[in-house]
Structure 1
Amino acid sequence: MNLSNCSYNYGNIENKLLPALYTITFIIGFVGNAWGLKLLLQKWQKLGNINVFVLNLGLANVLYLFTIPFLMVYYFSGRKWIFGDAFCKMTRFCFNVNLYCSIGFLTCISVYRYLAIVHPLRMMGRLTVTRSVLISVLVWLLVIVQSMPDIFFPKRFEDKAQCFHSTSHEKTEDYLTYSLVWTTTGFCIPLLVTLGCYGHVTFVLCRRNNIEKRLRQKCVKFLFILILLFSVCYIPYHVFRNLSLFSRIQRKQNICVWWDKHVFTGHQISRGLVCLNSALNPMVSTLQMSEHILAHIRQLPKQVPKFFYHLNSSSDTITEEEALRSTSMSTTTSK
């Protein structure tokens, strides 16, 4: 196909779709993460070691949410970046750290649940808070090491006030190679580990009748959240990111593939959807707290009658004291 057949306005989708999704993500994500972290810290002593990963998941989300207002300004102004080259790279770096830390900590939670359910006796006393903290530090370090090369790719043209999501056209081939390695190590391997863990957990839950119904329901809910996050946020983004880079290489060679426009559109939509992971991740902390919240709610019907009983008892005691006082006063008067 001739390259002229691929000429259309690429900026319309970015300038209209992404600002709307960023706004939704910032509002829902900020409220959801603040509420989730507050619940988590309030009930920290009553919760398990998994909450070390949930806490780090929330911190990664907050790190990225603070950069969203700058991206909103960028796209609302028609892709004019006014905050400098260094902050452009830092904003993109925070996005990548949030994305792959989220995947990493969700994978850690899946592995912990797998070990606790499938190998409970073997893991007894081994899943400690100290080990959870060390694993969390390792996840942060691995993600930062994976994301560091992205900083060294050019993000701006000298004559244009833009902040590229990937890199300039001159470095597209190198960036595609880096993106494929990044996708394999940061996404595909954690995805296979997560699927393997929860596939085995599902098999065990179906076979064992001695596992509590509440635990089964909790695992099913968490599996649903994982499927939602990976299918809506993570899988489309990685597929379309690499296809978009390949399409750009083809355009550099004056080759216009028929799916170029569809890939670009899908890539922009997936960029908006992957940002929603910061708004959907608080469901993990909410699920962790659900058992304690439900237990508290179940106690309310029992506590209400007790409250009124003590209230009535206290009011009766006051009446008796007043009666005794009036009796003693009348006795004193008669004397």
Structure 2
Amino acid sequence: MNLNISIPVVLTIYIFTFVIGLPSNLLAFYALLVKVRHKPTPIDILLLNLTISDILLLIFLPFKMVEAASGMQWPLPKFLCPLTSFIYFGSIYISSLFLMAISVERYLGVAFPITYKLRRSQAYATAVSVFFWVVACSHCTITFIVQYKEDSGFSCGTTSSPQIFYCYENFTDTQLRVLLPVRLEVFIVLFCVPFIVTVFCYINFVRILMALPNIPVQKKQRAVGLAVATLVNFIVSFAPYNVSHVVGFVQHDSPPWRVYALLLTTLNASLDPIVFYFSSSAVQQAFAKCLAGLRHQLSAITAKCHLGCLTHCEEGGSVPEAASGDKAEELTS
């Protein structure tokens, strides 16, 4: 366990992700849910599943905040450790799989527009979504296996303080023999494959759109924004943590910087709304309405404060006038 980790940095990233990610994901979830209920498309179903994954992470993120505020010790009930880890790690790989699926959908839509339009179906998107959830969750059950393998997921911090526990850290050799090969397999299956597919799809997606003369400039800009946002998400949020799997497998131990790499994965929940915005017109309209409402409320508050200030100034000016009038009358008499 790396006890030298900066607790303020951890809390800052957790709080930033929670404050930015929760309202934006809830807004996107509402917009996509309304869209799916009225006129569902495969991309809407994929995006809706991605928002659900992010919201689950954000719901359990306060538990990680409590852990960080306690000096990276786990003060909560023990059963919450594997459950929180399961949701936390599951969200990482569910997100990577659905980001890959979105890139494939976008690519097929421009590379084979007629064939894809005739064959695309909500049933296929639903089946793919169920498959991704099963694959990601089945891999993340390792958090429960390790938890009860020689009674650890928790490990004692010191021999003099047997009641101090760290969640999912300080693994024994027996646990590492189980955990490290699984991490390497996860790196290949749930990171490398989605990342390579996503890069291939978005490079060709943007290339094809840029070559088409009748595509509006705004749509081309949205395509570039979608590709850049998704690749930045992979590189910043997912790559460092997954590389730690390979390093750990080679070194037969978790590298000390792994805790910071894991921290970066949290940012995924605040970066995904950018993908939602560039992928769905329904989400764009919802964000536009929300921003317009906020601007209206801010203008109303500003106008009210300005009016109150003017009223106060006018009332303050009338008092001296009245006083000077009384004094004038007194002097005249």
- Could you state the TM-score of these two structures normalised by the residue count of structure 2? 0.75
TM-align CA RMSD = 2.7
How do residues 76-91 of structure 1 correspond to structure 2 at under 5 angstroms? 76-91=69-84
User: Of 118, 132, 136, which aligns to 2:125?
Assistant: 132
Structure 1, unmatched stretches of 5+, are 1-8, 251-262, 301-335
Alpha-carbon separation, structure 1, partners of 2:169 and 2:45: 31
Q: Is the 8 A contact 2:104 2:198 kept in 1?
A: yes
Q: Is the 8 A contact 1:39 1:289 kept in 2?
A: no
- Residue 244 (structure 1) shift: 4.6
Structure 2, unmatched stretches of 5+, are 148-152, 157-161, 293-333
1:255 corresponds to which residue? none
Alpha-carbon separation, structure 1, partners of 2:130 and 2:253: 37
- Residue 20 (structure 1) shift: 2.2
Q: Is the 8 A contact 1:17 1:269 kept in 2?
A: no
* Distance change >3 Å, CA 34–CA 88, structure 1 → 2: same
One-letter amino acid matched to 2:272: N
User: Of 267, 283, 295, which aligns to 2:274?
Assistant: 283
One-letter amino acid matched to 2:130: V
- Residue 150 (structure 1) shift: 3.1
Secondary structure in 2 matching 1:12: coil
Query: Aligned pair 1:199/2:203, yes or no?
Result: yes
Q: Is the 8 A contact 2:32 2:48 kept in 1?
A: yes
- Residue 71 (structure 1) shift: 1.2
Query: Aligned pair 1:156/2:133, yes or no?
Result: no
Secondary structure in 1 matching 2:114: coil
- Residue 43 (structure 1) shift: 4.3
Greater mean deviation of Cα atoms: 148-157 or 198-207: 198-207
How do residues 168-247 of structure 1 correspond to structure 2 at under 5 angstroms? 168-244=172-248, 246-247=250-251
> Larger RCO: Structure 1 or Structure 2 (Cα < 8 Å, ≥ 6 residues apart)?
1
1:27 corresponds to which residue? 19
Secondary structure in 1 matching 2:167: coil
Alpha-carbon separation, structure 2, partners of 1:135 and 1:166: 36
Alpha-carbon separation, structure 2, partners of 1:230 and 1:50: 19
Alpha-carbon separation, structure 1, partners of 2:168 and 2:238: 20
One-letter amino acid matched to 1:131: Y
- Residue 247 (structure 1) shift: 4.4
Secondary structure in 2 matching 1:153: helix
2:259 corresponds to which residue? 268
Secondary structure in 2 matching 1:19: helix
User: Of 106, 111, 114, which aligns to 1:121?
Assistant: 114
- Residue 290 (structure 1) shift: 4.6
